[in-house]
Chain A
Amino acid sequence: MLENLLVVVIIAMALLFADRRSFARSERRTKVLYILLLLPASYLSLLFILQLPWFNIGHLTKAMYGWPARQIVALLK
Chain B
Amino acid sequence: MSSDRSTINLRQLAGLLCCYVIGSAIVFIPNPLTAAAGNDAWISMTLAYGFGIIMLTCVLYLHNRHDGASVIAYSRKLIGRTATYPVGLLYILMLFFAACAVNASIGDFFTSVMMKRTPSYIFHTIGMLLSALTARSGIRVMARMFFLLLWLMLFFSLLVMILAIPIYQPAMLLPLFENGIKPMLHGLFISAGFPFGEIVIFAMLLPFVRLQAGQSISKALYASYSFSALMLIVPTICTIMAFGPAAGYFNYSLYRLSIEIHIVELFQRMEAIIGIALILGSYMKATLLLFIIYQCLIQLFNLKDDHVLMYPLSVTCIFLSATMFQSPADFQEQVYTIWPFTVIVVGGGLILLFTLITWIKHRRYLQAERGDTS
Contacts and interface: CB of A to CB of B under 8 A. Distances in A.
A61 B318 CA distance: 18
A69 B308 contact: no
A48 B320 CA distance: 9
Contact of A40 (B316, B326, B334): B316
Contacts of B302: 29
Contact of A77 (B186, B308, B325, B334): B186
Contact of B338 (A23, A37, A38, A61): A61
Contacts of B307: 22
Interface stretch (B59-67, B93-101, B235-243): B93-101
B125 A57 contact: no
Interface stretch (B221-229, B339-347, B361-369): B339-347
B181 to A, nearest CB: 9
Nearest to B133: A18
A7 to B, nearest CB: 6
B304 interface: yes
Interface string B169-190: 0000000000000110110010
A45 B313 CA distance: 13
Interface in A26-40: 26-27, 29-30, 33-34, 37-38, 40
B297 interface: yes
Interface in A44-77: 44-45, 47-48, 53, 56-58, 60-62, 65-66, 68-70, 72-73, 76-77
A24 to B, nearest CB: 10
A66 B338 CA distance: 6
A77 B185 CA distance: 9
A29 B297 CA distance: 12
Q: Which DSSP category, helix, strand, loop or mixed, fits chain A's interface? A: helix
B319 A57 contact: no
B318 A56 contact: no
Contact of B316 (A27, A41, A66, A69): A41
Contact of B311 (A19, A44, A48, A72): A19
A4 B301 CA distance: 33
A69 B341 contact: yes
A15 interface: yes
Contact of B319 (A29, A44, A60): A44
Contacts of B319: 41, 44-45, 47-48
Contacts of A11: 125, 315, 318
Contact of B324 (A26, A29, A41, A56): A56
A37 B316 contact: yes
A34 B309 contact: yes
Nearest to A66: B338
A68 to B, nearest CB: 6
Contacts of B324: 56-58
B118 interface: no
Given A29-B301, A73-B189, 12 more contacts: A3-B119, A11-B315, A19-B311, A22-B307, A22-B308, A27-B303, A33-B309, A40-B316, A48-B322, A58-B325, A65-B341, A69-B340
The 10 lowest CB-CB distance pairs between A and B, nearest first, are A44-B319, A69-B341, A76-B186, A37-B312, A41-B316, A58-B324, A47-B323, A26-B308, A69-B338, A41-B315
Interface of A: 3-4, 7, 11, 15, 18-19, 22-23, 25-27, 29-30, 33-34, 37-38, 40-41, 44-45, 47-48, 53, 56-58, 60-62, 65-66, 68-70, 72-73, 76-77
27 contacts: A4-B121, A7-B125, A19-B312, A26-B304, A27-B303, A29-B302, A30-B306, A33-B297, A34-B309, A38-B312, A41-B319, A44-B320, A48-B319, A56-B320, A57-B93, A57-B100, A57-B320, A57-B324, A58-B330, A58-B334, A61-B334, A65-B346, A68-B345, A73-B189, A76-B186, A76-B189, A77-B182
Interface of B: 93, 96-97, 100, 119, 121, 125, 182-183, 185-186, 189, 297, 301-304, 306-309, 311-313, 315-316, 318-320, 322-326, 330, 334, 337-342, 345-346
